Amino acid sequence: MSTPRYAVTAASGQLGRLAVAALAERAGAQNIVAIVRDPTRAAGLFPAGVEIRQGDYTKSDTLDAAFAGIDRLLLISSNEIGSRTPQHANAIDAAKRAGIARIAYTSVLHADTSALGLAGEHRETEALLAASGIPHSLLRNGWYTENYAASIAPALQHDAFIGAAGEGRISSAARADYAEAAAIALIADTGERAIHELAGDASYTLADFAAELSRQSGRAIPYADLTEAEYRAALIGAGLPEPFATLLADSDAAAAKGALFDDSNTLSRLIGRPTTPFGETIGEALKAAPAAH
């Protein structure tokens, strides 16, 4: 039996690059196709031997060419909030035309019941997968610790870590943990439908996160808990686009009610090791952060 060919969409993104590397390590780079919107900007992003193809969620003809000869597809969700469902529909339809045997899709933690505003498009995509008849795996990813680590530089600048998550506990993991899980599930999953609720082993509040940031930086960086509206306004004031600020504020408000908490340890069982502690990701971010003051 010939070795399967694996493809990863949105492969030049932060998760995509890690997933391609994880797949190449397990299945051989020569069996991996990295699908990107602009191949001219993809040089040097992937391990040697990985084939790069052009594919755009909004252009079905590019997807037909990109998926040719592919056996298993990692469909990484689009980053275009509000346009994702039709884009994912294009990819699923093209996968069906190409005869792809399995799709693994990066959804969101507890998508079927989640209060997160961004869960709606994931639910719609999960329904499209169910209707497609293609065997599939739902990678219901929890929060990336890097989502909060991105706020470390401004927190150091302003001597406060802001958010709107209250006392909600967040079970995040490093992006690389989720990428590894995606590679393993894409290679190994069988059956019509597999659901993986993926989250970090340990959970923390944003006050805990700020305390660990204070400890590692040697500075007092308190957590300032804002209302959802105040947090959204602060993010817009910091220069974030309004839709993204709205998304982040909504996510924190949902986290306050437990939307980002999971204690099933499914992720660590799948990858065969503990998930990356949030303090480790903070440490990496601190190394990269410009010195404040």
Strand, coil or helix: what is 163?
strand
Give residue 32's identity as a one-letter amino acid code.
I
If one counts every other C-beta atom within 10 angstroms of the C-beta of residue 231, the result is 22
CA distances (Å), origin 76, targets 103, 255, 284: 10, 23, 25
Helix (H) or strand (E) holding 38: none
The answer to whether residues 13 and 170 touch, using CB atoms and an 8 Å cutoff, is no
The answer to whether residues 268 and 275 touch, using CB atoms and an 8 Å cutoff, is yes
147-169+201-262+274-288 belongs to CATH 3.90.1010.10? no
Q: How many CA atoms lie within 13 A of 114 on its CB side?
A: 30
Topology, domain 6-142+174-198: Rossmann fold (3.40.50)
Q: What is the pLDDT along the chain (293 residues), one digit of tens a residue?
A: 678 999 999 999 999 999 999 999 999 999 999 999 999 999 899 999 999 999 999 999 999 999 999 999 999 999 998 899 999 999 999 999 999 999 999 999 999 999 999 999 999 999 999 999 999 999 999 999 999 999 999 999 999 999 999 999 999 999 999 999 999 999 999 999 999 999 999 999 999 999 999 999 999 999 999 999 999 999 999 999 998 899 999 999 999 999 999 999 999 999 999 999 999 999 999 998 775 44
The answer to whether residues 92 and 84 touch, using CB atoms and an 8 Å cutoff, is no
Domain locations in the chain as residue ranges:
6-142+174-198, 147-169+201-262+274-288
183/252 Cα distance (integer angstroms): 29
CA distances (Å), origin 40, targets 30, 35, 180, 280, 285: 20, 12, 26, 34, 29
| Residues in Cβ contact with 162 at an 8 Å cutoff, skipping those fewer than 6 apart | 151, 155, 223, 224, 226, 231, 234
> Among 226, 223, 220, which Cα is nearest to 210's?
223
Q: Rounded to the nearest 10 degrees, what angle do helices 84-98 and 119-132 cross at? A: 20
The per-residue DSSP string of 207-218 comes to HHHHHHHHHHHT
What is this structure's pTM? 0.96
pLDDT of residue 262: 98
Token representation of residue 43? 């040089």
